[in-house]
Every structure is written in C-alpha cells, then in structure tokens.
Structure 1
Amino acid sequence: MIIRTNQVKIHFNLLSPLLIIWLLLPSLACGQNDPEVPIAPQLSSTFSEPVNRGTVNNPTISEASGIVASRSNSDILWTHNDSGNDAKIYAINTLGETVGEWIIAGATNRDWEDIAIGPGPEDGINYLYVGDIGDNQAVHPSLNIYRFPEPIINDDTSPGGTIQNAEKINLKYPDGARDAETLLVDPLTQDLYIVSKRDRFARLYRLPFPQSTSSTILAEKVGEWNREIGGIFNQPVGGDISSDGKELLIKSYVEVLYWQREDDQTSIFELMQQEPKILPYMVEPQGEAIGWSTNHEGYFTLSEKQGSSIPKLYFYKRKQK
C-alpha cells in the first residue's frame, strides 16, 4: 500500500504500526478542506525516485547510523554501527558489498551516530570524522569525535586493519548535555557542526577550525533552527555537505531536506534558516544514514536492520542541476 502524505511517497510495507498511526493522524484529525492545515513544500523533481543498488548482507553491519562517500577511493562508501558495537568503520561498495573493515585503536563506540568527510589539519588529505554524539538520556558531560586520514584501498594494501593515528576531539555543549545524530564538516571553513535531535527547535553547534585534540572544546551554540520539529519522526537523524560546500542534506525518519548555498559567505546556520526543498525519500525501517555520492550525482541512504529485514542501499540520482 502506498499513500502520499505532505507530498512524500510513503511505502507502508516498510513502516511500523506506530509510524503508520503517526503519519495518518493529521488527516484523521481534520478535514481535507480545513484552512488551518499547512501546505507542505512541494516534492522537488531534481532527483529521481530511489533505486535499490543492493543489499548490505554483512551481518555485522546491523545498526548503520551514518554513511559517507569516499573521496580517496572510487565507488567506496564508509559506514558504521551505533551504540554498543565495536569501534569499527566499514568500507562497502556502491552495490552494498563489504570491501573491508578497520578498527579504530583507542576509540570507544558509546553511541556513534554519524560519519562525515572533509578537510583537516593537513592540507591535501581527506579526513574521516566519526561522531560519538548520541546521548538518548542527555546525561554525558562531554562527547567525542574521532578524526583520522581516510584509509586508502588499493591492490597493494589489505582491505582492512587498524587505524592507529586517530585523534580525539572532546567537546561539551554550553547549555547542557544533548542528544544528536547529525555531524557535518563545512569544506569551505573546515568547521564542524552538530545538529541536536530531541529539541522542539533543533540547536546547531559549531566547532571552529582548528579543533583542539588536547583539551575539551566548548562548542559554540550558533542558534536554533527555525523549523519546528513536528514529532519524533521529524527529528534530524543524519546529514551531509557536498565536497564543494554548495549543497546540504538533512534527513529525518520520514523526509530528506535540501538546501543549495548560493555564495561562500552564507554560513551553514544561515542556510538552514532558509526554506528547504523536500527530496524524494522512500521511508526505511529505521533510516538514519544519508550521504552524497562522490561527484554529487546523487545521494545514498541506508537503514539499520529491523527484524529479519536486510538493509538495502538506496540511491537517488540527480536529474538536473
């Protein structure tokens, strides 16, 4: 069964009963002609409907919470599990097949919720940033982001191993502990951004470049997102900035939001205050991971495993730019 709610196609065979009830509540509560019902932004035609690129059959990738495209290896995506799992990152290809896995020495996976890629302290090197930023109960006084050069995969190296040189960026918020699942790297400024999850108006925090790895950073609260979070399924659970810094994706459990930066002077916070476009998204069992493809020709999404379902790697191809 398929319906459209707020202009987003929802595939009901993938939804939990709780999510189905939540999605139907607005239409059940008011008539079709009720003038108080807000009109949602139209679904953008810039990207195609999803294509199933393949299943992620690796049973150890069961709680994928983040995904990002490699910038040093062709057709490679990086992903990871969330809370309580090993401190590992996984390389999969664009068909969902596992290529290798790397242990991050000295790291702990308390609640890894997102992964990002971008510049870092050494010019010309692509760095991966793994965000141990989940905090469901908002009890942790500080959080960690692990930063390290992206592994190179080629015929001369083993596809996997141990990352020995990861740096730990320890941070705390100026307004108390928070839960978050979205980590961004702005390639134009090299600043890190974190978007909070459980607030009525999501809070955006910035860690200006260069980020210290020797002392705890007090993150800067840039401001609150002016888009009210309408419920638990609309909370931001992942995001990515394109490698040229021009395009931003933020996803919830039920939609993908898109912004395009027109100039280099517009900050990520200012960009998020603008009205986003709604991109195509087929709701997944517990979809938290989203990332641009290498050349921005589209975006990938990946869900955590739910029950007997095997996570599928979906791709949404750009039709025009």
Structure 2
Amino acid sequence: MRPYPSRPARRAVPAAALLLLLGAACPAVAADGEPDRDFTIEDPRITESSGLAASRLHPGVYWTHNDSDDGPYVFAVDSRTGKTVATITMRGVGEPRDVEGISIGPDGDIYVGDIGDNLDGSWSHVWIYRFPEPKALRDATVTATQYDVKYADGARNAEALMVHPKTGRAYIASKNEDGGRLYEGPAKLTAGATNTFRRVGEVPWVTDGAFSPDGGSLVLRSYFSARVYDFEDGRLGESRSVAAPFQRQAESVTYTADGSALMFGSEGAGSGVVRVEVEGGQEEEDPQEKGKPSGSGSPSSGAGESQDGDGKGSVGLGAVIIVGVGALWFALRRKRAGQG
C-alpha cells in the first residue's frame, strides 16, 4: 500500500456539543455481510469523511474522501466489511485545499469537489477534479482533469457537489448560516477556462447532497435534517423531509446505486454510514417503517428518549436539539472570529 502522510491535529468539530448531549451510539455493521447496509468505515486514515458516492462499477462499494489538509486522495470502501479496498491518488491537480463533495456522472467519471471555504468568500475560485472510475479496485495513481470554478454572484462556502446522472451537468449547494443557494454549472465543464456557476434556487444549510440514479430527485442534508426535492429541467420542485439519523458530524449522503435507499455518513474516526429507505425502495414493506434506518442507528436515538409513550421523550429530545443548535451556532461564530 502507498505510504500515507500523517495527519496534523485537527480542529474541533462544530457539532461536538451535540455529540456529548446525544451520546455516541456505535453504528451497526451488517452481520450477514450484505452490501449497502449500515457499516462502519474502518480505515484509520479516514477521519473526516465529507462525501459519499455509490460506485457504478463495484456493487456495495462507496467512494469517500477526507476534508481539508489531507491531500489528493480518494478511498473506495466496501460496505460489506467497512474496509478500504482501493486508495486513489489524483495526479495533476495541485494541492487540494478543502475537499467537500464527491459524485459520479453518467459517463462513469468520478467528480471531486474542492469547494470548501471556511472563511465564506475568501477565495476567488474553487476547483472540481475528474477522473474515470477505476475498473479494478487496487491502489493507483490517476491523472485527473482540473476545472476552475467561480460563482456569478461572488465567492462563498460550499460542501455539496452533485453531478446529474442524465445530463452530466454539475451543481453546487452553498452553505450559510442564513441558508444556502443552489448553483448550476455550464452544460459542459471546460478545462483551462473559468466555469461560472449561476444561482438557480434557494436551499437550507447544506452539508452534502446527491441525485437519485434516475435524476428525478435531489437529496440535501444538514447537520440535523434532510430533504428530498423533486428535480426537473434543472430546477427544484416540491420537497419532503427524510428521517436522517443523528450523527456526530453529519457531513455526507448518497443514494444507493439502485436508488432504493439513502446512505448517511458522518465525520470522525470509525464513523458510521446508516441506510435509510426511500419511498418505493425495494426494502420497504411496512409503511410505518418508511424513512427509518436499516440497522441499530435511529433518527431518534439518544439521551432524553422516553420509553413509556407519554411524549416526554420527544420533549426531552427537542430540548437537546435546541441546545445542540445553540452550541453549533456559537462554535461557528467562534471559529469565524478566530479565522478572521
């Protein structure tokens, strides 16, 4: 296996206070070895999994990457074991700055979004990297194409890169305390030129997003919630909530390759990925189970949960969430003040 640089001490995660309040429940790993179930990322190098993309060539395999200060690395993780089965090193892309999203296009290429900007507009441009998904799962160095990206209405922070599975057009969802925006890239990205992304919609605070395999739906998640939007002709339609699981730092989401479920991931060493069935998913049998995780991870698991059905658990959990949101807000303010 290729040598891998040691990681420096990292910043405190914004949602740490919520973790302490809710408790760190261990994610479930499928005992039967079936792919696309709940799993734990076992690789000690992957401590800030900030994006997920279901492989099109290798059933049960998910591509992920670390956040900032890591290098040009992308990992293939097998959901049956949680182990990394390939480490890809991107060549020809310079030094990645803040990699936050990953997606796979209709051409089978993997798109990596170096689109984070924790100073909310300090960088005049960001980058998207692109390379074909490897046919064989083994450690390799690949030459990636680099695209320069800017926004028509000025620089901003973003964590969600989505490539439409039918048109191949790239979209970015920005992240802001007052809500984000959905940006549409040009019909075709061009290397060696500036690719301008233009605002086409308003979205909430977004940490990741993904298109359904048929391109008719777009899921966007935040630290505490997720919504699925109808998507047609490049524009957002009606939306509905999804019961996203509570996680230590909710940073990633993708559809399974068959579109039957959503896979929600989190940052942190030994982080868990939780499957949540979607409406009409192949695993859905009981309407009351719709939107629930497949394993032990639960959207409502955590401190303050009552078992006697008197409603006290919901009130307690609501209070915990309010405290967690406040802690997150102050952490972000403190982080911005320290970087300003």
Q: CA deviation at 1:111?
A: 0.3
Correspondence 1:128-167 to 2 at 5 A: 128-137=110-119, 138-153=121-136, 159-164=138-143, 166-167=144-145
Flag as ranges the 4+ runs of structure 1 deviating above 6 A: none
SS of residue paired to 1:17: helix
What is residue 126 of structure 1 aligned with on the other side?
108
What is residue 286 of structure 1 aligned with on the other side?
249
- The structure whose RCO (Cα within 8 Å, separation 6+) is larger is 1
TM-score normalised by structure 1 residue count: 0.73
Q: Which runs of 5+ in 1 are unaligned?
A: 1-14, 22-50, 120-124, 230-234
SS of residue paired to 1:81: coil
- Could you give the per-residue CA deviations for residues 179-199 of structure 1, whole angstroms, max 9, x where no partner exists? 000111112322111111015
How many Å separate the matches in 2 of 1:169 and 1:81?
Answer: 20
Correspondence 1:1-321 to 2 at 5 A: 16-17=16-17, 53-95=38-80, 96-107=82-93, 108-119=95-106, 125-137=107-119, 138-153=121-136, 159-164=138-143, 166-198=144-176, 200-225=178-203, 229=204, 235-261=205-231, 266-271=232-237, 274=238, 276-305=239-268, 310-318=270-278, 320-321=280-281
CA RMSD across the alignment: 2.2
Confirm or deny: 8 A CA contact 1:182 1:236 kept in the other structure. Answer: yes
How many Å separate the matches in 2 of 1:57 and 1:291?
Answer: 19
Confirm or deny: 8 A CA contact 1:129 1:148 kept in the other structure. Answer: yes
Q: Which amino acid aligns with 2:52?
A: I
Q: Which amino acid aligns with 2:104?
A: I
Identity of aligned residues (%): 32
SS of residue paired to 1:65: coil
TM-score normalised by structure 2 residue count: 0.69
SS of residue paired to 1:243: coil
SS of residue paired to 2:63: strand
How many Å separate the matches in 2 of 1:77 and 1:223?
Answer: 29
Q: Which runs of 5+ in 2 are unaligned?
A: 1-14, 22-35, 282-340
Q: CA deviation at 1:267?
A: 3.0
How many Å separate the matches in 1 of 2:250 and 2:199?
Answer: 27
Q: Which amino acid aligns with 1:203?
A: R
Q: How many residues align?
A: 251
Closer, same or farther: CA 253–151 of 1 in aligned 2, 3 Å: same
Q: CA deviation at 1:20?
A: 8.2
Confirm or deny: 8 A CA contact 1:82 1:109 kept in the other structure. Answer: no
